[in-house]
């Protein structure tokens, strides 16, 4: 049968779009019935054919603008305070239950959420020289803001803790007996391990006190908190006693050993006394060795002749030899090779030592401080590495 279409065209009945739709729907019902029948025959529970696919779950929302704004201590810093709080500031307020950042190496302490920031308060402190990495977790299991948005990706930041401060190094060395002064803390009593760790960056209050009547030449070298020869000599002595490379500086191995000695003092690192040597170019010339404030060696001495004078100033002993053939060149160009003993070098080729002379007390050497046998033999064991030798003009 032919009927007029809605557009005025003539279409065949059954060939219309509506007819095609009816056939499609019928086929769908038939296939659905077959699926349902198969399910029932198999003993399965009927399911809704229009149900959402089981894998079509909603992903956790990620805010592209949610990010780390700042980290303290500043990333890349090479002199951070190891006892300070670690702060990670985000671009928006944080959920109270958000995952916390991580720290490597581990340090006991507590993370809290404060507005848009994570704040870590340590119980102790990172050791001087430690490289610290702060990791802020991202992704579906990462940091979450108050609106439920996750940080898009994990972020990591690193900084390095600064070296041990001069004041704290002096306090420890003084308490162990390696300085001519002692340290008297304002608050008496031992510090626990956490307080000792923090003291590396925030030294306890107190004062340094001379515990012996030192000569003016030594007192003039000491200023608390200022690097100088007294500290350098003490560090050299400490390094030599522990078998460390002798440099006179607070390198990482020395710092570690010094902090360990502060935590657990032991006879192996305690000093037996403070020694100081003074040579005076007077008439006659003299040499004095102080041990714990007492003059234990007092002797006439020889210093350099005008053509090869002894260096004026203060120097730490850096090399010791029981005997040696000392070689060099006389001012007139003639070579020499002299047997000497009880040698303690303090400045380049200049040393305190024994050499045979008819008399002592006048300039005769080529720069060294020469002593008679008995005085040199008695002084040598106390002229250890780091012992300061002052030559006064």
Residue-wise pLDDT for 126-145, tens only, equals 999 999 999 999 999 999 99
Quote the DSSP letter at residue 381.
Answer: G
Check if the beta carbon of residue 388 is closer than 8 Å to that of residue 229: yes
* Of the candidate ranges 43-52, 151-160, 290-299, the one whose mean pLDDT is the lowest: 43-52
pLDDT value for 270: 61
Residue 390 has pLDDT above 90, yes or no: yes
pLDDT category at 204 given cuts 50, 70, 90 is very high
Residue-wise pLDDT for 322-338, tens only, equals 999 999 999 999 999 99
Mean pLDDT, rounded, of the chain? 86
Residue 46 has pLDDT above 90, yes or no: no
Among all chains, which residue has been given the structure tokens 């340590």?
Answer: 122
Give, in degrees to the nearest 5, the angle at Cα 81 between 75 and 86: 55
pLDDT value for 17: 39
* Of the candidate ranges 36-45, 77-86, 241-250, the one whose mean pLDDT is the lowest: 36-45
pLDDT value for 269: 66
Residue 297 has pLDDT above 50, yes or no: yes
pLDDT category at 12 given cuts 50, 70, 90 is very low
pLDDT value for 271: 66
> What is the sign, positive or negative, of the torsion defined by CA atoms of 78, 81, 87, 89?
negative
> What is the sign, positive or negative, of the torsion defined by CA atoms of 373, 378, 381, 383?
negative
Please indicate whether residue 211 or residue 52 has the higher confidence score (pLDDT): 211
What is the rounded average pLDDT of the residues 62-69?
78
What is the rounded average pLDDT of the residues 71-82?
96
Residue-wise pLDDT for 338-372, tens only, equals 999 999 999 999 999 999 999 999 999 999 999 99
What is the rounded average pLDDT of the residues 157-177?
95
- Give the separation between CA 356 and CA 338, rounded to whole angstroms: 9
What are the backbone dihedrals phi and psi of residue 255, each rounded to the nearest 5 degrees, phi first? -60, -45
What is the rounded average pLDDT of the residues 278-291?
97
CA distances from 259 to 62, 110, 176, 185, 366 (A): 46, 24, 11, 17, 43
Residue 4 has pLDDT above 70, yes or no: no
* 2, β-bridge pairs: 12
Please indicate whether residue 263 or residue 319 has the higher confidence score (pLDDT): 319
Q: Which contacts of 92-95 are long-range, i.e. CB under 8 A and separated by 24 or more positions?
A: 92/63, 92/66, 92/116, 92/145, 92/146, 92/147, 93/145, 93/146, 94/118, 94/143, 94/144, 94/145, 94/146, 95/144, 95/145, 95/146, 95/148
CA 331 from centre of chain: 50
pLDDT value for 134: 98
> What is the sign, positive or negative, of the torsion defined by CA atoms of 300, 306, 308, 311?
positive
Contacts of 376 (CB under 8 A, 6+ apart): 341, 342, 352, 353, 354
Residue 33 has pLDDT above 90, yes or no: no
pLDDT value for 266: 73
- 271: nearest Cα among 244, 292, 245: 292
């Amino acid at each position: 049968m032919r009927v007029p279409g809605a557009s005025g065209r003539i279409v065949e009945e059954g060939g219309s779009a509506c007819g095609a739709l009816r056939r499609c729907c019928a086929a769908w019902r038939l296939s659905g019935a077959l699926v349902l029948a198969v399910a029932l025959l198999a003993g399965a529970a009927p399911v809704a054919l229009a149900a959402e696919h089981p894998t079509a779950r909603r992903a956790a929302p990620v805010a592209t603008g949610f990010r780390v704004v700042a980290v303290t201590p500043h990333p890349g810093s090479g002199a951070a305070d190891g006892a300070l709080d670690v702060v990670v500031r985000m671009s928006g307020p944080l959920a109270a239950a958000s995952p916390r950042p991580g720290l490597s190496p581990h340090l006991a302490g507590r993370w809290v959420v404060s507005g848009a920031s994570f704040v870590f308060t340590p119980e102790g402190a990172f050791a001087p020289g430690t490289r610290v990495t702060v990791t802020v977790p991202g992704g579906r299991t990462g940091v979450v803001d108050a609106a439920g948005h996750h940080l898009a990706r994990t972020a990591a930041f690193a900084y390095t803790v600064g070296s041990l401060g001069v004041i704290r190094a002096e306090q420890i060395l003084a308490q162990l007996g390696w300085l001519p002064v002692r340290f008297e803390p304002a608050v008496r009593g031992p510090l626990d391990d956490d307080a000792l760790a923090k003291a590396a960056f925030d030294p306890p209050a107190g004062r340094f006190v001379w515990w012996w009547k030192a000569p003016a030449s030594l007192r003039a070298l000491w200023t608390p908190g200022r690097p100088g020869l007294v500290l350098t000599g003490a560090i050299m002595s400490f390094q030599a006693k522990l078998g460390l490379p002798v440099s006179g500086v607070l390198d990482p191995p020395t710092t570690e050993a010094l902090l360990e000695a502060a935590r657990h003092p032991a006879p192996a690192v305690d000093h037996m006394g403070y020694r100081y040597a003074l040579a005076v170019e007077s008439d006659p010339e003299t040499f004095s060795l102080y041990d714990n404030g007492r003059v234990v060696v007092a002797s006439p001495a020889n210093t350099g002749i005008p053509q090869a004078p002894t260096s004026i100033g203060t120097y730490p002993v850096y090399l010791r030899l029981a005997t040696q053939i000392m070689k060099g060149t006389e001012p007139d160009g003639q070579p020499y090779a002299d047997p000497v003993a009880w040698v303690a070098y303090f400045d380049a080729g200049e040393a305190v030592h024994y050499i045979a002379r008819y008399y002592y007390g006048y300039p005769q050497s080529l720069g060294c401080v020469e002593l008679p046998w008995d005085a040199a033999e008695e002084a040598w064991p106390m002229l250890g590495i780091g012992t300061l030798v002052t030559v006064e003009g």
